[in-house]
Structure formats: structure tokens, C-alpha cells
């Protein structure tokens, strides 16, 4: 079997607007073979950037065309392909959006392998430690405590045992932040696990314009300690991704789990967050970190360090399902994120539709990812 072509579709919902919701626009990468088997993946990145990367011709010895490197390759040689794509695009890639594009291609290759061998991806990853995968309901944080309490109550009524709110309103206001945390807890039940995604935090300068001044360790420690009476299960990315010393100070000072890593590409910065930053929950996006091939390495490294990992999936059902297969084959996963966005891309892009029950998704037993694309929706939302 040989790879014959790649196709990239940029999809955008009519309700697209600037907000912390990556499910309003997406990019689907399809890989075709000479045996009629097609696999697909998603990239957690700017859709038009990904399309440009995949369509870009060779520029330099270490800035090769992804399409050129893939055409004619055996799609089942996934690890060898990953290494070649990584090494031969280092001039422009290495840690940036090229890895996002490789992530989508890699997920598509695992999908092809599963279809070719008539096996679900989780079995190809080593087999199931569990077949029922815990998920949490993930919401964009409202601007008011009242709305945060309402959403938390709604999640509980729908049977979710865990939920997350993110990002907090900007600019950073300690009183409003505390009121929102209190509202999330009071809107949920005492037994509900409540996660908080801090997001970019900055203060207002004297002239009223926002200053790009993210929290430092002292600020994060003070804020999170003030929230601990409301028992957040974890606080996500309260510091800049590169503030490794700050993360270590923070994790040593607070009792709440600290999660981080969704911004990272490849395993190497995630190793640093674990070893130097001492984070409690290793968080990454399968369709951003380097696909299932690289995500499996990160999950194994977390297991070696006795750390749980959690997947970032605030985009499409493709990312969720790829994460579900990885979670099934991993002994130390914590949760898979399930976006509560109302975007059609979040829930209607694939079939069968994902239907969590009481926060559980059962791992599909069909070949590959066990899902198909909703081609009608792709055609409806496709843009140039």
C-alpha cells in the first residue's frame, strides 16, 4: 500500500467570532492510498496556516514539502514517517505549526492502519487498560458568577461528574475571580470535580490599556490559595508555559493539582514541564503535540514519572476520539476533555455521534478511529 495524495479542507462555522473557542473553525487533513483506504486527522492550529504548510513546496534541504515526503510511502510505517517529517522540516518547523500539521497527518495514518488491519487504533497502541473513558464537560468561562453557577448546575443535571470552566474574564481581578470560583462550586454538587482554566491573565495599566503581564509564581500562589476552600480539582495553565521555575514554586506551595502543557509541541518541552516544572497533571493535545505517535511517548513518560495526563480537546470530535483511543491504551490517563461548545464542528463533524453518558465514552471497536466524516457538513462549511 502506498500514499497517493493528501487533501486539506478548512471549515468555518457561520457563527465564527473571536473568542476562546477553537471549535468554530477547523482544518481536516485526509490521506489517500492506492488501495482505496483513506484516513483523516485534525490539527489544533490555525486552519489556513496548516493548509499552507501542507501545500508548500520544498524550499531547502531541511524545509521539504510534506506532500513530497509522503507520496509513495507505505502508510503503515508510521514511526519512520514521523521521524522523516520531523527531521526534514526542521528549518521551518521543529517546534511550531509544522508539528501541528504533522499531528493531523499522523492521526490519519493511524486511522489508515486500523482500517487496513481491521483493528481499532487502541489495540494498535498496545491494547486496552480500560474501555470506558472518563470525560469532563468543558465550557468557555462566562463573564459573570451567576452564569458560571448556571452552567455548573446544568452540567450536573446532565450527569457530568466533572466539569471545567476557562478562561477567566480579562483583565485579572482577584475579587471577580474568587466570586466566579465560588459560583462554580456552589452551582455544582460537593462531589463534582471542578477544574479551572486560568487562561491569559493580565492587569490594567494606569492609562486603561491592557498590559501583557501574565501572572508570576507569587501571584498564582496567592490566588490559588484563596480558591482552595472551594476545592478546585485542578487549576490549568496559571503561568506562562516557559516559566518552569515558577511552576515548581507553585506546585510546591499549593495543594491543588496544577495542570499544564496544551500549548506544547513534541515531547521535549513536556518533559521539561514534568521534570523542572514539577506539574501535577501533564496536559497535551494529540492533534497539536505531534499526533498519536508523539502523544504516546508523552503518556509513557508521564507513566514513568507516576503522573496522570489529561488530553486537551477543545475543537472537534476527531481530536476527542483520537484521545479516547490513547486513553484506553494508557494506565495513567486522568480525563479526556469534552467540549460543550454549540458549534457543529464540535459534535456533528463525525458519525456515529459522540454521546457521553454520565461522563463516560466507550471506546469504539470499529476499525481505525471507529468514526467517519460527515461529508455533507464538510461540504457545507468548507471555505477557500
Residue 254 and residue 232 share a domain? yes
The answer on 133 and 159 residing in a single domain is yes
Q: What angle do CA 13, 14, 18 make, to 5 degrees?
A: 80
Contact 120, 346 (CB under 8 A): no
CA–CA separation, 181 vs 233, rounded Å?
Answer: 12
Write the DSSP assignment of 75-131 as a string of letters.
TT-HHHHHHHHHHTTTTT-SSSHHHHHHHHHHHHHHHHHHHHHT-BHHHHTT--S-S
Tell me: do 105 and 141 sit in the same domain.
Answer: no
Other beta carbons within 10 Å of 48: 15
pLDDT tens-place string over residues 80-103:
999 999 999 999 988 889 999 999
Question: How confident is the model over 242-254, as pLDDT tens digits?
Answer: 999 999 999 999 9
Q: Residue 366: pLDDT above 80?
A: yes
Q: What is the pLDDT of residues 143-157, one digit of tens each?
A: 899 999 999 999 999
Report yes or no on 379 lying in a domain. Answer: no
> Would you place residue 22 in the very low, low, confident or very high pLDDT band (cuts 50, 70, 90)?
low
Residue 220 located in a structural domain: yes
Domain with 247 in it: 124-373
Q: Which pLDDT tens digit goes with each residue over 234-243?
A: 999 999 999 9
CATH number at residue 215: 3.20.20.120
Q: For residue 13, what is the domain's CATH number? A: 3.30.390.10
Query: Element (H or E) spanning 257, and its range?
Result: strand 257-260
Average pLDDT, the chain: 92
Q: How many CA atoms lie within 13 A of 288 on its CB side?
A: 23
Q: Of 102, 119, 136, which closes a domain?
A: 119
| pLDDT of 212 over the 70 cut | no
Q: Are 266 and 291 in a shared domain?
A: yes
Please check whether residues 129 and 263 belong to one and the same domain: yes
Range of weakest confidence among 189-193, 343-347, 373-377: 343-347
Q: What is the pLDDT confidence band of residue 344, given thresholds at 50, 70 and 90?
A: confident
Q: Is residue 378 part of a domain?
A: no
Of 87, 119, 151, which residue sits at a domain end? 119
Residues 111 and 132 reside in one and the same domain = no
Count of the separate structural domains present in the chain: 2
In whole angstroms, what is the distance from residue 250 CA to residue 278 CA?
A: 9
Please tell me whether residues 275 and 334 are part of one structural domain.
Answer: yes
Own/partner long-range contacts of 43-46 (Cβ < 8 Å, ≥24 apart)? 43/100, 43/101, 43/103, 43/104, 43/287, 43/288, 44/100, 44/103, 44/285, 44/287, 44/288, 44/312, 44/315, 44/319, 45/97, 45/100, 45/101, 45/288, 46/97
Considering the domain architecture, whether residues 217 and 298 belong to the same structural domain is answered as yes
- Looking at the structure, tell me whether residues 153 and 105 fall in a common domain: no
| Total-model pTM | 0.94
Residue 209 pLDDT level (bands cut at 50, 70, 90) = low
Tell me the pLDDT tens digit for each residue of 306-325.
999 999 998 899 999 999 99
Q: What distance in Å separates the CA atoms of residue 221 and residue 255, rounded to the nearest whole number?
A: 10
Is 44 a residue whose pLDDT tops 90?
Answer: no
Q: Which of 93, 119, 145 is the last residue of a domain?
A: 119
* Residue 32, pLDDT score: 98
- Tell me the backbone φ, ψ of residue 52, rounded to 5 degrees: -65, -40
At what angle are helices 291-304 and 78-87 packed, to 10 degrees? 100
Check whether residue 110 and residue 251 sit in a common domain: no
Would you say residue 15 has pLDDT above 80?
Answer: no
Torsion of CA 337, 338, 340, 341, to 10 degrees: 80
Amino acid at each position: 500500500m502506498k500514499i497517493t495524495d493528501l487533501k486539506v479542507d478548512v471549515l468555518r462555522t457561520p457563527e465564527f467570532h473571536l473568542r476562546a473557542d477553537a471549535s468554530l473553525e477547523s482544518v481536516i487533513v485526509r490521506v489517500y492510498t492506492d488501495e482505496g483506504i483513506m484516513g483523516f486527522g485534525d490539527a489544533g492550529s490555525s486552519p489556513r496556516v496548516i493548509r499552507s504548510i501542507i501545500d508548500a513546496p520544498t524550499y531547502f534541504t531541511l524545509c521539504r514539502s510534506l506532500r513530497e515526503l509522503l507520496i509513495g510511502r507505505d502508510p503503515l510505517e508510521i514511526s519512520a514517517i514521523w521521524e522523516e517529517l520531523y527531521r526534514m522540516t526542521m528549518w521551518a518547523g521543529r517546534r511550531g505549526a509544522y508539528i501541528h500539521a504533522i499531528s493531523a497527518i499522523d492521526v490519519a495514518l493511524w486511522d489508515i492502519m486500523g482500517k487496513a488491519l481491521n483493528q481499532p487504533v487502541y489495540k494498535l497502541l498496545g491494547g486496552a487498560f480500560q474501555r470506558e473513558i472518563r470525560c469532563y464537560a468543558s465550557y468557555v468561562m462566562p463573564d459573570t458568577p451567576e452564569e458560571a453557577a448556571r452552567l455548573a448546575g446544568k452540567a450536573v443535571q446532565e450527569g457530568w461528574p466533572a466539569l471545567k470552566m476557562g478562561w477567566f474574564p480579562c483583565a485579572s481581578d482577584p475579587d471577580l475571580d474568587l466570586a466566579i470560583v465560588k459560583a462554580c462550586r456552589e452551582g455544582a454538587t460537593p462531589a463534582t470535580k471542578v477544574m479551572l482554566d486560568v487562561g491569559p491573565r493580565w492587569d490594567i495599566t494606569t492609562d486603561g490599556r491592557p498590559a501583557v503581564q501574565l501572572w508570576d509564581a507569587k501571584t498564582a500562589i496567592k490566588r490559588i490559595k484563596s480558591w482552595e476552600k472551594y476545592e478546585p480539582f485542578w487549576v490549568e495553565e496559571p503561568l506562562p508555559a516557559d516559566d518552569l521555575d515558577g511552576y515548581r514554586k507553585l506546585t510546591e506551595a499549593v495543594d491543588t493539582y496544577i495542570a499544564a502543557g496544551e500549548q506544547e509541541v513534541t515531547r521535549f518541552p513536556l518533559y521539561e514541564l514534568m521534570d523542572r516544572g514539577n506539574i501535577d497533571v501533564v496536559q497535551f493535545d494529540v492533534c497539536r503535540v505531534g499526533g498519536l505517535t508523539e502523544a504516546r511517548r508523552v503518556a509513557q513518560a508521564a507513566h514513568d514519572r507516576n503522573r496522570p495526563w489529561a488530553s486537551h480537546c477543545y475543537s472537534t470530535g476527531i481530536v476527542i476520539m483520537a484521545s479516547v483511543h490513547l486513553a484506553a491504551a494508557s494506565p495513567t490517563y486522568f480525563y479526556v476533555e469534552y467540549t460543550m461548545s454549540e458549534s457543529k464542528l464540535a459534535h456533528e463533524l463525525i458519525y456515529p455521534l459522540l454521546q457521553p453518558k454520565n461522563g463516560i465514552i466507550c471506546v469504539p471497536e470499529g476499525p481505525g478511529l471507529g468514526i467517519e466524516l460527515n461529508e455533507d457538513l464538510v461540504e457545507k462549511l468548507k471555505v477557500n
